[in-house]
Amino acid sequence: MNPNFQFSMLNRRTLLAVSRAIGPIEVGVEALDIYVLEQIESQVRQFPRLHRLGFCLGLYFIELGGFIGGWGLLPFSLLKRDRATKRLYRLLHSRLTPIRLLANGLRVLVCLSAYGHTEVERWFGFERRAWRKQRIATRQVLMDKISPQKITPVPEPLYTLNDQKQHELLSWESHQELVRAALPTLIEKHQTPDLSISNEIESPFNVEDFTATTSETHVKLDQDKAE
Amino acid sequence: MQRNIESAVHGEVLTPLDFKGKDPRLSCDVLVIGSGAGGATVAATAAENGKKVLLIEEGPAYKSSEYSANFSGMTSEIMRNGGATVILGRSPIAYLEGKVLGGSTVLNGGMCWRTPTEVLEEWEARGLEHLSPQKLDPYFDLVEEVIQARYQNVGSEGENNQVFRRGAEAMGWRLQRNKRNQVHCVGTNDCVSGCPTGAKQSTPLTWVPRLLKAGGQVLCYASAQKIIVKQQRVTGVKVRLRKPFGHQDIIIKANKVVVACGAVQTPLLLQRSKIFKNPHLGQHFTVHPNAKVAALFDHPVDSMKGVHQAWQCTEFQEDGILMAPGGVPLSVIAQCFPLMGAELTEQMRLAPYIATAGVLVDDSRSGTVKAGPFGIDLIKYDISDYDQERFIRGVQRLAQIYFAAGARKVYTPFTEIPTLDHPEQIQRLANVLPKVEHTEYFTAHLMGTCRMSATHSEGVVKPSGESWDVQGLYVADASVMPGTIGVNPQVTIMALARLIGEALVENTH
């Protein structure tokens, strides 16, 4: 581990190109490639020295290896996105295990960062941060209101349908009801009654057309959403 | 209740900052290396029996509220090598190791299964009589009580679990509800990157508070470098105090040292210490390989909502095949598809409608863990052809479950046949027989590199957990398991660690 590690300029260029080739740039999140680069850099800082060295050499190979491997003369970072993606696919299906591992490792690292970005998650219908906030509030109410009276022995669940009406613990209505019921206690204890959290999944995707995969359909769906 | 426990823990955990500008001369009766399921349990057990215990942890200490929603950021912070850890072999197997107070109990799904009776009977038959079902039962009871192993709150499961349950019920297959170590889990589904609500009762909320209450101490950012042995008796450990305060090497003196760094790091530490040679050290490495399966439904599954795993299908457990749903974040769903760029974006538009699950196969073969030159860890495991056959059968059965629940498409872990669009295509898997090299695996259950044995010639540690070769050196983690167990190992590790902790205390008298 080296907390001060930074990629070289050439490695940074390659990684930015790799993140654009793998990541969801269609979502339109500003500077997603730079975000991915920073996330990967912080992960690579945790690698042992030799793994870090191997990773950086791998990036040099991706950047300049096209000439050696015979799959293209241009350095990777100068390729257009679709050509860069094609080159990575080629590496992903290489017969040589180390090359396959490198391409797959990059795919995993970029997916982990790019698809974990708040805006990207939201675009794909995963409002994870709002969901966490709501869950933390829900659990707080359960801990404050229910637990002291009802600590049952293991393995019995602590919360059953008898405790509340026949609604799901995961539903927004249930959360609101629980928080409202506990409002005086919450105000007294935490001063943070928050009923304003959105819990609706805004999928860019029409349930009726769930199998649609053409870009035309998605463009149309995006237009509908914008309207 | 929970807030009090957390503030108590974080008020008392030491960091290298506590020794800034001083020469720390630490000594204790029992030094425990690692704060996961094994280390925290053995440390609490020794402290509660009057021993002066110091528990050291390589990573930081986090409060539940400090686990952020930034998944890739958390993998850098709380996992070894930033989460990029791989076992090499015919096909690489990705795995995760916790590097945080609580070890891998902070990252696991919280499943609480007792060791199957037939496994314990087999261990007993190998001469480990103290591991018989009857003798271990009280330990399981205690562990389950301490870590609050209970069924999920009603209504907290979420659709990702429900489609799996409905499918298995439609097939008429045996389903078992998971017990999980949780108090009021409300289905945040962030088990893998640290439970932000504090519901999951990982060791910083269970065994570590018990250790502190009994007068034990915890030191974070402290990485064990070498076990020090004189005349075949352990005397201490060379420890490096780490980030973010710079490096400083110190010696901690101890009468007993318990190594509990997990099935990979424990043999590596012992091998690098060069204190004894034992042919079984680093051998018999089993991993419970897993393969991911996803399915597309025509209604929202919202796998983000609901508990990570509430059920397991145990219909084929006798064949060594376990199937279970596993809700994961969007960034992990994206890795289920061998796609990139625009194609992946198109695929991921369907993410809210995708359910995820896994097939676990009980190993028929074992791998090795070796400390190589220049600090390189050589971790090897080859999936056997027999296990691959079971993987294919397991994926076929999981596809049956999903189609029975109404799935429109099933995504397999095999690059030769990545999708199944119709139940009739399931048979194609058996015809094509996807190769190991063309399958993606991962694992979270690493076991058995310092196995417990009845005789010196068969293993690394005695039935008491003490090394056969060095007096006062104990191992108390998943590496002591005499064989693979076929279920999630958390409760087994804790029960064995409790037993080893008691033996350690007895040996001290």
pLDDT of residue A138: 86
CA dist., res. B395 & res. A171, Å (int):
32
Same domain, B357 and B425: yes
Compute the nearest-CA separation of A209 from chain B (Å).
9
CA dist., res. B65 & res. B45, Å (int):
28
Q: Is the pLDDT of residue A148 over 70?
A: no
Q: By CA distance, what is A203's nearest residue in B? A: B352
Cis peptide before B244 (omega within 30 of 0): yes
User: Is the ipTM value over 0.90, yes or no?
Assistant: no
Burial grade of A25 (CB within 10 A; 0-12, 13-18, 19 or more): middle
Domain coverage including residue B124: 2-65+113-146+202-278+450-508
pLDDT-derived band at A153 (thresholds 50, 70, 90) equals confident
Q: Which of A49, A112, A200 to mutate to test the interface with B (most CBs of B within 10 A)?
A: A112
Contact B188 A42 (CB under 8 A): no
pLDDT of residue A2: 76
A89 close contact with B: CB closer than 8 A:
yes
DSSP B224: E
Q: B438, B459, B477: which is the final residue of a domain?
A: B438
Same domain, B45 and B171: no
A192 close contact with B: CB closer than 8 A:
no
Q: Considering CB atoms only, which of B82, B156, B345 is closest to A170?
A: B156
Structure tokens of A155?
């393995």
A225 close contact with B: CB closer than 8 A:
no
Residue B261 belongs to a domain: yes
pLDDT of residue B382: 95
Burial grade of B7 (CB within 10 A; 0-12, 13-18, 19 or more): exposed
Same domain, B319 and B174: yes
Residues in chain B predicted with pLDDT less than 70, given as ranges, are 1-11, 21, 23, 243-245, 508-509
Contact B81 A47 (CB under 8 A): yes
CB pairs under 8 A between A and B: 228
Same domain, B208 and B241: yes
pLDDT of residue B310: 93
Compute the nearest-CA separation of B302 from chain A (Å).
8
| CATH number of the domain bearing residue B131 | 3.50.50.60
Same domain, B389 and B326: yes
Question: Could you tell me which of B444, B296, B445, B311 has the C-alpha nearest to residue B356?
Answer: B296
Three state DSSP letters for A128-168: HHHHHHHHHHHHHHHHHHHCCCCCCCCCCCCCCCCCCCCCC
A146 close contact with B: CB closer than 8 A:
yes
A88 close contact with B: CB closer than 8 A:
yes
Q: Considering CB atoms only, which of B148, B152, B349 is closest to A205?
A: B349
pLDDT-derived band at A141 (thresholds 50, 70, 90) equals confident
Contact B81 A27 (CB under 8 A): no
CA B338 vs. chain centroid, Å, equals 26
Lowest-confidence range among A61-65, A189-193, B243-247, B453-457? A189-193
CA B65 vs. chain centroid, Å, equals 22
pLDDT of residue A189: 56
Same domain, B324 and B391: yes
Q: Which residue has the higher pLDDT, A190 or B468?
A: B468
| CATH number of the domain bearing residue B394 | 3.30.410
Compute the nearest-CA separation of B327 from chain A (Å).
13
Residue B92 belongs to a domain: no
The mean of the pLDDT values for chain A is: 77
Same domain, B306 and B432: yes
Count the alpha carbons within 13 Å of B148 in the hemisphere toward its beta carbon: 21
Q: By CA distance, what is B141's nearest residue in A? A: A154
Residue B82 belongs to a domain: no
Residue B321 belongs to a domain: yes
Those residues whose C-beta lies under 8 Å from the C-beta of residue B174, and which sit 6 or more positions away, are B313, B314, B315
Same domain, B121 and B183: no
Looking at the structure of chain B, the number of domains it has is 2
pTM: 0.90
Helices B341-348 and A81-92, axial angle in degrees (round to 10): 90
Same domain, B454 and B430: no
Cβ atoms of B106 and B204 within 8 Å: the answer is yes
Q: By CA distance, what is A47's nearest residue in B? A: B81
Q: By CA distance, what is B200's nearest residue in A? A: A139
Q: A200: how many CB neighbours lie within 10 A of its CB? A: 9
Burial grade of B195 (CB within 10 A; 0-12, 13-18, 19 or more): buried
CA dist., res. A221 & res. A21, Å (int):
24
Same domain, B128 and B33: yes
Q: By CA distance, what is B244's nearest residue in A? A: A3
Q: Which of A83, A99, A168 to mutate to test the interface with B (most CBs of B within 10 A)?
A: A168
Residue B86 belongs to a domain: no
Same domain, B406 and B479: no
Residue B90 belongs to a domain: no
Q: By CA distance, what is A82's nearest residue in B? A: B341
pLDDT of residue A174: 76
Same domain, B236 and B344: no
CA B1 vs. chain centroid, Å, equals 27
In B393-464, at which residue ranges do the beta strands (DSSP E only) sit? 409-411, 419-420, 441-443
Spell out the alpha helix ranges (H) of B13-116: 37-48, 71-78
Compute the nearest-CA separation of A2 from chain B (Å).
9
Question: Could you tell me which of B332, B338, B335, B324 has the C-alpha nearest to residue B434?
Answer: B338
CA dist., res. A108 & res. B339, Å (int):
11
Residue B83 belongs to a domain: no
Residue B369 belongs to a domain: no
Q: Find the distance separating the first CA and the last CA of chain A, reported in whole Å.
A: 49
Cβ atoms of B207 and B34 within 8 Å: the answer is no
